[in-house]
Structure 1
């Protein structure tokens, strides 16, 4: 990350997640840029697929947030960072809707930039959609950077039909392409020689600091505690965790994060505890009072390209880590307990619980420091 540090600039970030959503690479990088005396306009999601019935709660929440803000779509979220919740037509695949969206979004961004005091920005795109590309071009950016964090075309939830071609065009057009995993690097470098693998960032000192008081919510939960944090959705092998919790009733499985899938089978178990979303600045306290941190992912085409931002946060804590499912985990095989398959995961968790290996923990800290800016 340090190699790409930018100072005293204005950045317009076209994000695929809202600022207040789970803390990921998007917020981590932009907050670091803000601390380096840059001003950041963080443009919240403009959509990568058609809305579905399952999106209704998210859409209602965004409308409520806008109502509470009395129609003001621009808000300061931290020093030097402003988040913009734009108004766009979700039916982006229709020609006239796209043209109107580009015009409307450009106006909203120009007005926002006037408020934050910026011109000739750097465009930082997480969303490789035609709307993001066209709007970014209208801002006459000094530099266009595509930060690719997922193989979006393989997203099991689907994307707009034009998405794959739009992403290919952005990769060709961008001044620089960053990728979050080696597989994404291999996919995009043939089309753009200025493509680089940049692992997720981490606030190392915050996550490595062990002097955190035990949160009250954890005090009620016995040990050993096996903790998963982050988005609880179809990428996580919840069936595997349900089987493990049933087979090991003394192990306490703790889940920290927003639930976006069916967890009824797990919730029925007395040793499964769902504590909800934990603010990122409070998360280290929960992790330091865990016995093992869990990274169990389902093997799919989509998941084979991802590298969760939480990897380095886990490593920074020095806690044992039990992991499954992602090729990128092989990079950390000396400092994680890796299961070769689902049947092996219970054994891996047991080995992690039994760990007394200080050398491995020190190595984990070193690995985490790689991502420190």
Structure 2
């Protein structure tokens, strides 16, 4: 069985994302070693190396405390490099890279087929100028070196088409079995719900606050890993009806969605957000709840099954209609759309690339 080294931006945990869904399917065809970001050695000691049928989840660690600044960054990058090369061993047939900062690994393992999977356009993040230049440089190097570039959104496809036919679009998907439930409730529910990573580059904080103040008797629950800066956390903590639950295992999401009044997507309308293909757009297809979303990538094409709005005022009016019970949900049409967007079908497209 061929060996596949999976370099991920994310640790393997209970919050499954694109990387885990693909790696889980890859193990049927490859011997997979999955490596996430570095961790302080104190955290690694507490973690167990996870073994699946043909997946080994390995951890790499930081030797130098980050408080030491640039010297720590340089030395930890070198430690990461040598640890990964050691873990990879003599033979790696396929190198799947989701972490745009790991170009040096690709240079060392140049005998392996290189697949660069881009899930977010990090070149559009508001980094400090020097860091932004480094990200742009790393992304360009990986794009040029890759045998195949996989992108998750239409906007990313347009941007990466300069690299020719090696760039292909494979969107995110859904595990239908995880979201089918006999307990799908058509009752009004307990709260308004958002699911996904919580940070200022995605969520419109002013809209989040506007919803909480416009509907003070309603609870707005935000479920997902919290990456907000302290200032945003303090600002949101002033509103008792805004609840940040933190991350939840993806296996629990169907139950959490069933208890909602509606599923909300108060995203920013930025180039970065429009580079995404939110997994929640597919997960929400198997809910019987109304969905209200800002007109952004991942939702703008689903006006036939979701309520798509263009402004904060329209968003608040849509929430008001949910509370009035006047929002219709076409569950059958949603289910049909979900069947066309499964992780199994997405992986069949990935498989063709890996075997080419």
SS at match of 2:95: strand
Residue 19 of structure 2 corresponds to which residue in structure 1?
26
Q: Which residue of 2 aligns with 1:49?
A: none
Deviations 1:337-367 (Å, cap 9, x if unpaired)? 1111122111122334535635x32222222
1:109 corresponds in structure 2 to: 84
2:4 to 11, 28, 38: 11
1:164 Cα shift?
Answer: 1.2
CA distance in 2, matches of 1:92, 1:331: 44
Q: Which residue in 2 is equivalent to 1:250?
A: 217
The alpha carbon displacement at 1:282 in A equals 1.7
Residue pair 1:146, 1:174 contacting (<8 A) in 2 also: yes
CA distance in 1 between counterparts of 2:271 and 2:70 reads 25
Q: Contact 1:14–1:42 at 8 Å: present in 2 too?
A: yes
Name 1:53's counterpart in structure 2: none
Partner of 1:240: 207
Shift of 1:111: 3.8
CA 1:199/1:316 → structure 2, altered by over 3 Å: closer, same or farther? farther
| RMSD, aligned α-carbons | 3.1
Q: Please tell me whether the aligned partners of residues 14 and 249 of structure 2 are also in contact (alpha carbons under 8 angstroms).
A: no
Match of 2:273 among 303, 311, 317: 303
Match of 1:80 among 54, 70, 73: 54
1:165: which partner in 2? 137
Q: Equivalent of 1:65, from 21, 43, 48?
A: 43
Aligned to 1:283: 253
Give deviations 1:193-234, integer Å, cap 9, x for gaps.
121111112111111324379xxxxxxxx9442111222211
Counterparts of 2:141 and 2:246 in 1: how far apart (Å)?
A: 39
Matched, 1:336 2:306: yes
In structure 2, C-alpha distance between the alignment counterparts of 1:287 and 1:314, rounded to whole Å: 8
Unaligned runs of 5+ in 1: 1-7, 47-58, 214-221
Contact 1:23–1:280 (CA under 8 A) maintained in structure 2: yes
The residue aligned with 1:38 is 30
Residue 357 of structure 1: aligned partner:
328
Displacement of 1:45 after TM fit? 2.0
Q: In the alignment, which residue of structure 1 is the partner of 2:353?
A: none
In structure 2, relative to structure 1, the CA distance for the partners of 1:333 and 1:25 (3 Å cut) is same
| Cα distance change on mapping 1:349 and 1:32 into 2, 3 Å | farther
Q: Look up the match of 1:321.
A: 291
What is the distance in 1 between the residues matched to 2:107 and 2:184? 46
SS in 1 for 2:278: coil
TM-score by length of 2: 0.81
Q: Are the counterparts in 2 of residues 323 and 336 from structure 1 also a CA contact under 8 Å?
A: yes
Q: How does 1:210-221 map to 2 (within 5 A)?
A: 210-211=182-183
Q: Deviations over 1:234-275 (max 9, x none)?
A: 121232122212222332212212322223444343433333
Count of residue correspondences:
330
Give the Cα separation in 1 of the matches to 2:26 and 2:326. 37
Q: Is the CA contact 2:285–2:335 (under 8 Å) kept in the aligned structure 1?
A: yes
Give SS of 2:133's match.
coil
Equivalent pair of 1:175/1:194 in contact (CA under 8 Å): yes
- Structure 2 residue runs of 5 or longer lacking an equivalent are 345-356
